């Protein structure tokens, strides 16, 4: 994937002085490349890809005077919206949209300009999860649920924004 700006919005609900519930949406419009690993397949030219994360999670905050440090974790889904895949040899393939399980990890700091307005600086890692299979095993010694999954890529996002406290 090529570097691209990420835009989004988050709504948080304070449930405790140090904990918040969060709903998060981000979108990134970028380009992706298919690189042939073996065989006669050709690599692709850059192809359009929209990445939408829909997440819900919790935020832990620590207030220190005029600033507040925080860390958050969210889980949800990612919607990948690729454009047609065009190979270097001119072939064009239609690629389907796909939903995947996803999570994010973030940390940052809020600087309060006044009591109800803050500037936020944040770094976040966004990761889709590719689930391949699952199974359930039971026997005399107990039971187990097994899920095979992987993370195909991790996207980094750095943001600056405003926080309005209602």
- Residue 165 predicted with pLDDT over 90: no
Number of domains in the chain: 1
Give pLDDT tens digits for 111-161: 999 888 999 999 999 999 998 888 999 989 899 999 898 998 898 889 898
Lowest-confidence region among 15-19, 30-34, 66-70, 87-91: 87-91
Residue appearing with tokens 């380009």: 31
- Give the model's pLDDT for residue 93: 83
Which pairs with CB-CB distance under 8 Å and at least 24 residues apart come from 148-152? 149/101, 151/127, 152/128
Domain of 23, in residue numbers: 6-33+45-164
Instruction: Quote the mean pLDDT of the chain.
Output: 89
CATH of the domain at 105: 2.40.160
């Amino acid at each position: 994937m090529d570097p691209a700006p990420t835009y989004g919005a988050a709504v948080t609900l304070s449930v405790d002085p140090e904990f918040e519930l969060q709903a998060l949406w981000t979108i990134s419009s970028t380009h992706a490349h298919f690189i042939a690993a073996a065989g006669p397949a050709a690599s692709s030219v850059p192809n359009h890809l929209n990445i939408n994360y829909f997440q819900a999670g919790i935020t832990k905050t620590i207030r220190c005077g005029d600033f507040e440090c925080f860390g958050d974790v969210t889980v949800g889904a990612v919607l990948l919206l690729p454009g047609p895949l065009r190979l270097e040899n001119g072939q064009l393939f239609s690629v389907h949209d796909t939903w995947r399980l996803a999570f994010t990890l973030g940390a940052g700091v809020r600087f309060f300009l006044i009591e109800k307005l803050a500037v936020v600086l944040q770094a976040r890692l966004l990761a889709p999860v590719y689930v391949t299979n699952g199974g359930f095993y039971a026997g005399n010694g107990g039971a187990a649920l097994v899920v095979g999954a992987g993370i195909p890529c991790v996207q980094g996002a750095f943001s600056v924004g405003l926080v309005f406290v209602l």
